């Protein structure tokens, strides 16, 4: 996980000593390399939900790109964090509130900017984002906010799976991860252990133990990642429940 989590070991310990969002807020108006990097990492991870939100509200991909780039150019300025005080406890809520504030106050100005005239602070894959928006994520036309929450939950899960993949590959267990990743979020009774063990060349009982450990680590990483977006680690379960609702909806 990110070094700012300060866990005592790569597979355990206290994940909640210092979170990325707490680190950003504690810096306030004073920019530091560590807090700037923490904010950039959060934005790099969770930019697509913002794009989906804006894309839902505008007529074209180009306009959505311009608005999101203009937003990040403003948001990544350190003093912008002092501009809004609501919803600071959750980065998810704060980011969306900041975007709404930006759109409300600078919509016309952002739309008048020439394409390419705004220097982006983040390197973002716009084409893949729009392909995903058009084909993989049929939007709910009645609720950009619900779409944002759903895409946020998906982005969070994607990050957790990627962290877990890197851990397993570093341990020389990349094949195990590829063979078992589909079992991370299903009920244990639904896992076809016999067929999976045969495919992986493992004993079924060995696979059961490995999958149990994998799922346990996945849950640890999931809570750790959620904590990175909160000020109060006591809110992890509440945020997890909210994200479950977003995915179910």
Does pLDDT of 51 surpass 50?
Answer: yes
Helical segments of 46-192, H only: 47-57, 61-75, 91-112, 126-131, 144-170, 174-180
Q: What is the mean pLDDT of the chain?
A: 80
| Percent residues over pLDDT 90 in the chain | 41
Task: Check residue 177 and give its pLDDT.
Answer: 94
The H-assigned helical ranges of 113-184 are 126-131, 144-170, 174-180
> What is the rounded distance in angstroms from the CA atom of residue 240 to the CA atom of residue 228?
12
107 burial via Cβ count (<10 Å: 0-12, 13-18, 19+): middle
Asked if residue 8 has pLDDT above 60, the reply is: no
Q: Which of 19, 62, 25, 90 is nearest to 246 (CA)?
A: 90
**Cα angle, residue 182 at apex, residues 181 and 186 outer, rounded to 5°:** 120
Q: Give the DSSP H/E element, type plus range, for residue 45.
A: helix 33-45
Lowest mean pLDDT among 35-39, 58-62, 109-113, 159-163: 109-113
The pLDDT of residue 205: 95
Residue 101: C-alpha distances to residues 40, 88, 109, 223 (Å): 20, 14, 13, 29
For range 167-191, the mean pLDDT: 91
Residue 216 CA from chain centroid, whole number: 20
Q: Is the pTM of this model over 0.95?
A: no
Confidence of residue 12 (pLDDT cuts 50, 70, 90): very low
State which of 58-67, 98-107, 152-161, 224-233 shows the largest mean pLDDT: 152-161
Tell me the three state secondary structure of residue 9: strand
């Amino acid at each position: 996980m990110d070094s700012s989590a300060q866990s005592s070991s790569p597979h355990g310990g206290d994940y909640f000593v210092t979170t990325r969002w707490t680190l950003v807020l504690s810096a306030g108006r004073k920019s530091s390399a560590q807090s700037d990097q923490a904010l950039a990492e959060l934005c790099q991870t969770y930019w697509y939900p913002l794009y989906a939100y804006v894309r839902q509200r505008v007529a074209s991909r180009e306009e959505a790109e311009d608005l999101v780039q203009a937003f990040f150019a403003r948001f990544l300025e350190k003093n912008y964090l002092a501009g809004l005080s609501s919803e600071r406890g959750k980065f998810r809520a704060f980011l969306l509130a900041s975007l709404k504030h930006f759109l409300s106050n600078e919509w016309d100005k952002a739309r008048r900017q020439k394409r390419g005239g705004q220097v982006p602070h983040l390197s973002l894959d716009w084409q893949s984002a729009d392909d995903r928006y058009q084909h993989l994520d049929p939007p709910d036309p009645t609720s950009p906010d619900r779409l944002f929450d759903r895409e946020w939950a998906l982005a969070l899960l994607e990050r957790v799976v990627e962290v877990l993949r890197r851990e397993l590959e570093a341990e020389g267990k990349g094949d195990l991860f590829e063979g078992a990743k589909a079992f991370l979020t299903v009920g244990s009774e639904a896992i076809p252990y016999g067929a999976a063990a045969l495919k992986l060349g493992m004993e079924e009982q060995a696979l059961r133990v490995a999958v149990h450990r994998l799922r346990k680590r996945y849950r640890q990483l999931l809570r750790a990642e959620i904590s990175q977006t909160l000020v109060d680690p006591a809110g992890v379960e509440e945020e997890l429940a909210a994200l479950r609702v977003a995915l179910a909806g």
